[in-house]
Amino acid sequence: MANVRITRREAKRHLSGLVDDLARHIDFLGEEGITEVACSPAIAPESLPVPGTPRKISPQPPMPLAPPVSDADASAELKAIAQTVAACKKCGLHAKRRQAVPGQGNIYPDVLFIGEGPGEDEDKQGLAFVGRAGQMLTRLITRMGYTRDEVFIANIVKCRPPNNRKPLPEEMNMCRPYLEQQIAVLKPKVIVLLGASAFEGLIPRDSPWITISKVRGKWLEYQGIPTMPTFHPSYLLRNPAAMWDVWNDMQLVLTRLGRTPPPAPAKGK
Ligand code: SF4
């Protein structure tokens, strides 16, 4: 197989993904009651150096790495998902859509924003968050120090619910596998859930009393990825004061990403 050239950043990211997967697998073995695993003598505890002891490093032949996912592979996978979504008729939402809206953005995003579903503008243009709520989201992304092209923006359901109603639980269940496939390709460092439907659609809840107002600003986890629920931009259009809560949540996101949060916006902006 021909070698694929990737950047150092992508290589580090790929390696850290492998380590995370391995750690999760070991956790899973522990949950299954398995307390020991076979390991190479090279990493057995007795062969690890005592702290403070200089390590002897002998030349080693280069180890073959697992083939990384190239930009072309990731783009092709996302395109294939989008094509499947465009032809999907799994739930009733396909009947009235102009076009499906799979989502768009960077294939290696720091942040994946997930909203509820396409509205009228999104249904017309085939792009996520391009209406008034989209403009609000763009302002938020810009304040965070990113452009829209540097993050990925998607929704829980890919087709517009009639009259912009909330998607039904069965519609979200039918559509969620597409989002799960996208997340597996994108491997975002952080997921931001915008509003109640994104939260309810992606994170199993123990109780219907756990609402977006109660969980926003608190770290959750989806498939090992830190996940921050916050209010939907359309809620901010109706309740501008909630922008302060959302901004606090995004500051937590930036800190988690190792970025210095910019100063809070001046009131009224
Ligand atoms: S909302 Fe999702 S599951 Fe339903 S038809 Fe559209 S793509 Fe398919």
Nearest alpha carbon, ligand 1 atom 4: 91
Structural domain boundaries enclosing 83: 71-256
Phi-psi region of 123 (alpha: psi -120 to 50; beta: other; left: phi over 0): alpha
Query: Quick check: 268 pLDDT over 90?
Result: no
- Identify whether 41 is part of a domain: no
- Identify whether 240 is part of a domain: yes
- Identify whether 54 is part of a domain: no
Mean pLDDT of 136-160: 97
DSSP 3-state assignment of 240?
A: helix
Beta strands in the chain (DSSP E): 104-105, 111-115, 152-155, 190-194, 220-222, 225-230
Total domain count, the chain: 1
The residues, any chain, with a CB within 8 Å of residue 134's CB and separated by 6 or more, are 121, 122, 128, 233
Q: Taking a C-beta distance cutoff of 8 angstroms, is the pair 140, 116 a contact? A: no
Token output for 125: 């243009």
Dihedral (Cα; 82, 83, 85, 89), 10-degree rounding: 170
Distance 47 CA to ligand 1 centre (A): 54
pLDDT in tens, 168-219: 999 999 999 999 999 999 999 999 999 999 999 999 877 778 899 999 999 9
Q: What is the pLDDT of residue 149?
A: 97
Using most ligand atoms within 8 A of CB, pick from 174, 176, 197 the residue to mutate for ligand 1.
Answer: 174
- Identify whether 57 is part of a domain: no
- Identify whether 101 is part of a domain: yes
Q: What is the CATH number of the domain that holds 109?
A: 3.40.470.10
Give me the percent of the chain exceeding a pLDDT of 70: 72
Q: What is the pLDDT of residue 68?
A: 52
Query: Quick check: 118 pLDDT over 70?
Result: yes
Q: What is the pLDDT of residue 11?
A: 60
Query: Quick check: 12 pLDDT over 60?
Result: no
